[in-house]
Structure 1
Amino acid sequence: MAHSSVSAQFNGVSGERHVEEQRRMTVAVTGAGGTGAAKRFLAALQADDRVSHVDLLVSANGRKLAALEFGTGEDMESVAVALGATSEKIRLLDPADLSGPVTSGSYLYDAMVILPCAVGVLGRIANGLAIDLIERAADVALKERRRLVLCLRETPLNLAHLRNMVAVTEAGAIVYPMIPTYYNVPETLAELQEELVERVLQLLGLGHTDRYRWDGTSTPARREHTATS
């Protein structure tokens, strides 16, 4: 569902219209399962006219996982097609190229999401180690106080993972594990992915539905499922 980039609000004093600035996003896909959720997330960003630009980085292991999950080649072009990254909004960046634009704090973007986020990537970000452009971009997001969301996909968690999660949280990141909710009574993998993506979008101020919003007794999604059960 597309959203207007122009706010309907007016300034009560001057009567001037406030124009909502379009968002610029950085999205990374790393070597953890769940690249289907990344595809759904990218589709949402491409369809949202509040988003003007997306820099997309897919690690080598991310490409391996995407190839496994989508049955495609591991080259970047094949993976980009599999992820549905076909909009002119999306620019593909090479994670191995540390001279890429997101390496600098002077390059402006609003938020970064790593979906899925491997625990190795989490650990390096937590300790300020950047061996590729994905980790460098995350480091920049933290130092520039931009929103950084890490969608961790790992279980069970060992003590090192937990300590790294605390460290990145203290540094300003949001750790959002890819853990499904159950009170909405999801019936398909697509529904699990849809809710995950919507909740991440809400963290970015880009939510587009109240389907999963708790009203004190239930949610629209839960009511839909329980009404037909």
Structure 2
Amino acid sequence: MSEKKIVVAIGGSSGSLYAKVLLDKLRELEDQWTKVGIVITENGKFNWQFELREDGWKSYPFDYYGQRDFSAPFASGSARYGTMIVCPCSMGLLARIASGISNDLITRAADVVLKERRRLILVPREAPYSLIHLRNMTALTESGAVICPAVPSFYSGASTAEEIAGTVVDRVLDLAGFELKDTYRWGETESIDPME
């Protein structure tokens, strides 16, 4: 079994389906991680219920932590959590991370991941971007984070909302170093010929 320990933060922007698909896929990849820590904001809970009409974030076999729980292991670099994924990531949360404002567990954990030179992947779901958003994303990229906007691809023939969200989540899991068995690979996976 891999020693991969990851943090998943679910922010308060629209896009709860991305978080749900991410948690579903992580559950399927349980042989590739030893610990998954979950932190979900109050707005993240609200949006999950509003958009998905359920509160299924509670039902996954992961470790859950409150936003003010600074005793969580990933609040310190010594716990050696190697990857943090923020999905979806609101622009306010992204701004606080970019500014180094560690005022809750999510921003503290992101600060830890950056200072330890580990992997921070942010999945913003916003359009359009203001100059403030772009500058914050630039600052994070310069600090070592990966910005992976929730922009789905369509060349795999995805048709359901979950499959479309899965095109983004699979990219995120690739960036996090997971080995995916059933994902579309350009030039390697059979697809529909657009000329037919």
TM-score by shorter chain over 0.5: yes
SS in 1 for 2:35: strand
Question: Partner residue of 1:42?
Answer: 23
2:50 to 60, 65, 68: 68
Q: Measured at CA, do residues 95 and 185 of structure 1 come closer, stay the same or move farther in structure 2, by a change above 3 Å?
A: same
Structure 1 residues 130-167: Cα deviation after superposition (integer angstroms, max 9, x where no partner): 22100110000000011000000110100000000000
Gaps of 5+ in 1: 6-20, 73-78
Runs of 4+ in 1 over 6 A off after TM superposition: none
1:42 maps to amino acid? L
After superposition, residues 175-214 of structure 1 pair within 5 angstroms as 175-209=147-181, 211-214=183-186
2:60 to 83, 86, 91: 86
Higher RCO (CA-CA < 8 Å; seq separation 6+): 2
SS in 2 for 1:42: helix
Q: Measured at CA, do residues 177 and 121 of structure 1 come closer, stay the same or move farther in structure 2, by a change above 3 Å?
A: same
CA contact (8 A) 1:25 1:110 kept: yes
Relative to the length of structure 2, the TM-score reads 0.91
1:33 maps to amino acid? S
Hey, what's the Cα distance between the residues in 2 that align with 1:224 and 1:56?
38
Question: Partner residue of 2:104?
Answer: 132
- Say which is worse superposed, 163-172 or 107-116, in terms of deviation: 107-116
Report the Cα offset of residue 225 of structure 1: 8.2
1:32 maps to amino acid? S
SS in 2 for 1:37: helix
SS in 2 for 1:206: coil
1:40 maps to amino acid? V
**Residue 116 of structure 1 pairs with residue 97 of structure 2:** no
Determine which structure has more spread, i.e. the larger CA radius of gyration: 1
Hey, what's the Cα distance between the residues in 2 that align with 1:108 and 1:97?
17
Report the Cα offset of residue 210 of structure 1: 6.0
Q: Measured at CA, do residues 91 and 99 of structure 1 come closer, stay the same or move farther in structure 2, by a change above 3 Å?
A: same
1:149 maps to amino acid? I
Same amino acid, percent of matched pairs: 38
Hey, what's the Cα distance between the residues in 2 that align with 1:31 and 1:127?
18
Q: Measured at CA, do residues 63 and 225 of structure 1 come closer, stay the same or move farther in structure 2, by a change above 3 Å?
A: farther
1:59 to 5, 28, 41: 41
1:38 maps to amino acid? A
2:73 maps to amino acid? P
2:41 maps to amino acid? S
CA contact (8 A) 1:24 1:54 kept: yes
CA contact (8 A) 1:117 1:150 kept: yes
Question: Partner residue of 1:32?
Answer: 13
SS in 2 for 1:114: strand
Structure 1 residues 87-119: Cα deviation after superposition (integer angstroms, max 9, x where no partner): 2xx110001223322211111212000010000
Gaps of 5+ in 2: none
After superposition, residues 4-19 of structure 1 pair within 5 angstroms as 5=1
Hey, what's the Cα distance between the residues in 2 that align with 1:39 and 1:85?
11
SS in 1 for 2:106: helix
Report the Cα offset of residue 84 of structure 1: 6.2
Report the Cα offset of residue 183 of structure 1: 2.9
